[in-house]
Amino acid sequence: MSRKNLNIGLFGFGVVGHGLYEVLQKTPGLQATIKNICVKDKDKKRQIGPENFTYDKNDILNDPDINVIVELIDDADAAYEIVSAALKKGKAVVSANKKMVAEHFQELLQLQRENNVPLLYEAAACASMPIIRNLEEYYDNDLLESIEGIVNGSTNYILTKTFAENLSYDAALKQAQDLGFAESNPILDTGGFDAKYKLQILLAHSFGYIAKPEELYNIGIDGIGDLELKYAKEKGLKIKLVAQAFKGAEGSISAFVIPKFVGPEDRLYHVDDVFNGVITKTSFADTHFFVGRGAGAYPTASAVLSDISALSYDYRYEYKKIFRSENQSLTDDVTLKVLLRHTRENADALKLYFDTVEESYTNNNIGYVTGNISLTNLKKVQDANTGDRSFILLNIVTEKEAAQQVAAAVAN
Ligand SMILES: NC(=O)c1ccc[n+]([C@@H]2O[C@H](COP(=O)([O-])OP(=O)(O)OC[C@H]3O[C@@H](n4cnc5c(N)ncnc54)[C@H](OP(=O)(O)O)[C@@H]3O)[C@@H](O)[C@H]2O)c1
């Protein structure tokens, strides 16, 4: 099959945009040229001459010679305007913007179909790790049972530094920002929102279920305190921000982002720094493990490059699972074994939300409970005004285990 010539209109020349510019210089085999670059700040110093830039998006969108738009800006609303306009004009699009894709998944799907043009966004989930195309192509069947992983490079970097080097949370966040891993607005990373947007995209490509981002529950790493870090260190565990989605009975799906304790036997324990790791579980193949750099200029640019290359062969996502899937719904009817850190005065009230309590400890003004709690009750505790608290997941409890543990607790 012969490759198409691609004339690229690039939006954004920050960490990833500049990375892509350099990566493209080094891959002459790909017949792709950047014809024009749109940025925002007229006064910013650039590494290449002003003749390469425009500040008016229409210079690119209305250029008939440009057949591919690569959108690498840090503003999800402006990105949606650019991407939707490009698709309406029949231009293929590559984007790395997970917030934009997650918030407008349904509309973007519609625009691709109506205008018969592709939108690819491999870099939007797990940066350099080729997960979306694998979910779309390899797991093109009903056998995928679960997907679980570290999908945010900056929080993994921060957690790694706080564990391995005893760096303070603020110092580790500053390092992640200086290295270009972190989102411009850090709460997107540390609050678990970036991971949630990625989970929403992975969920659509895993099970064909399009969730609205607000339907997926997310707890970030910004509430993690010294007690949880000490608990982890004493037990030889690490804390990772884990996004997961798994199938339950009768078309039900659970999906959420919650920090999790992981031990050395868990593959995610060994995924450190800016790396991402995703474990898929299928009915017959058991598990697969993907690992790769989850942020940074060149790794992210490499996924964008792969999408550009795929466009040159007319590749597009077919979204077969979305069009096939019926009667699926999200459920909070799932039991989680967690550690809840709380203040002393809230201890007794908070225990009432648990199905079973395994361990309970208080010292001075602070304490923790471990035990089983439903996702429904966890949300109630997290969203209500229940003092300073944080949840860390220990593991998911199967229905059978949950019933046995309740029966044992009643018998005692
Ligand atoms: N950094 C990573 O490791 C990474 C990893 C995966 C995905 N991503 C995603 O990649 C995208 C870009 O991230 P980044 O880290 O490269 O961001 P960045 O370094 O902050 O750069 C953002 C760029 O967007 C431009 N821009 C902002 N609003 C614009 C507008 N309305 N029109 C035209 N240009 C506009 C800025 O212009 P000025 O230069 O004029 O300010 C800047 O060049 C984001 O969606 C991010 O989530 C990033």
* Residues facing residue 38 across a β-bridge: 11, 54
pLDDT at site 382: 86
Q: Average pLDDT in the 161-178 region?
A: 86
Domains of the chain in sequence order:
6-124 (3.40.50.720), 335-411 (3.30.70)
Residue 302 has pLDDT above 90, yes or no: yes
Reply yes or no on whether 198 is catalytic. Answer: yes
Beta carbon of 39 within 6 Å of any ligand 1 atom:
yes
* Average pLDDT over the chain, rounded to an integer: 93
Distance (angstroms) between ligand 1 centre and the Cα of 295 equals: 13
**Which protein residue has the closest C-alpha to ligand 1 atom 11?**
72
Interval 117-127 mean pLDDT: 97
What are the distances in angstroms from CA 4 to CA 54, 117, 312, 342, 380?
25, 15, 5, 59, 53
Q: What pLDDT score does 250 carry?
A: 85
**Residue nearest to ligand 1 atom 4, measured at CA:** 295
pLDDT at 144: 94
206: enclosing H helix or E strand:
helix 193-207
Report the phi/psi class of residue 45: left, alpha or beta, with left for phi > 0 and alpha for psi in -120 to 50.
beta
Q: Is the CB of 402 under 6 A from ligand 1?
A: no
- Rounded to an integer, what distance in angstroms lies between the CA atom of residue 304 and that of residue 128? 8
Calculate the CA 141 to chain-centre distance.
23
Angle between helices 105-115 and 193-207 (to 10 degrees): 50
73 Cβ inside 6 Å of ligand 1? yes
- Amino acid identity of 155? T
List pLDDT tens digits, range 332-366: 999 999 999 999 888 888 999 999 999 999 988 89
Verify whether ligand 1 is closer than 6 Å to residue 182 (CB atom): no
End-to-end CA distance of the chain: 69
**Structure confidence at residue 1 (pLDDT):** 60
Q: What backbone phi and psi angles, to 5 degrees, belong to 191?
A: -85, 0
Q: Are 186 and 74 in contact (CB under 8 A)?
A: no
Q: Of all atoms in ligand 1, which is nearest to the CA of residue 42?
A: 40
**Which atom of ligand 1 has the smallest separation from the CA of 38?**
33
CA of 81 to the centre of ligand 1 (A): 15
Which percentage of the chain shows pLDDT scores above 70? 99
What is the DSSP annotation of 267-316?
GGGG--TTEEEEEEEETTTEEEEEEEE-SSHHHHHHHHHHHHHHHHTT--
Considering the candidates 196, 198, 240, 337, report the single residue annotated as catalytic. Answer: 198
Instruction: Provide the β-strand partners of residue 95.
Output: 71
How much is the average pLDDT of 372-400?
A: 90
Question: Which two structure tokens, joined as six digits, stand for 245?
Answer: 């989605």
pLDDT digits (tens, 9 = 90+) for 224-282: 998 999 999 999 999 999 999 999 988 899 999 999 999 999 999 999 999 999 999 99
Facing residues of 261 across strands?
Answer: 239
Q: What is the DSSP string of 319-388?
A: -HHHHH--S-EE----EEEEEEEEEGGGHHHHHTT-SEEEEEEEETTEEEEEEEEEHHHHHHHHHS---S
* pLDDT level of residue 64 (50, 70, 90 thresholds): very high
Which are the contacts of 154, defined by CB distance < 8 A and separation ≥ 6?
173, 176, 181, 182, 183, 186, 189, 190, 194, 274, 295
For residue 53, the CA-to-ligand 1 centroid distance in Å is 15
Q: What is the mean pLDDT of residues 182-209?
A: 93
**Segments in 67-104 forming alpha helices (H):** 76-88, 98-103
CA distance 372 to 76: 38
CA angle 194, 149, 297 (to 5 degrees): 55
Is there a contact between 255 and 244 (Cβ–Cβ < 8 Å)? yes
Average pLDDT over residues 179-186: 80
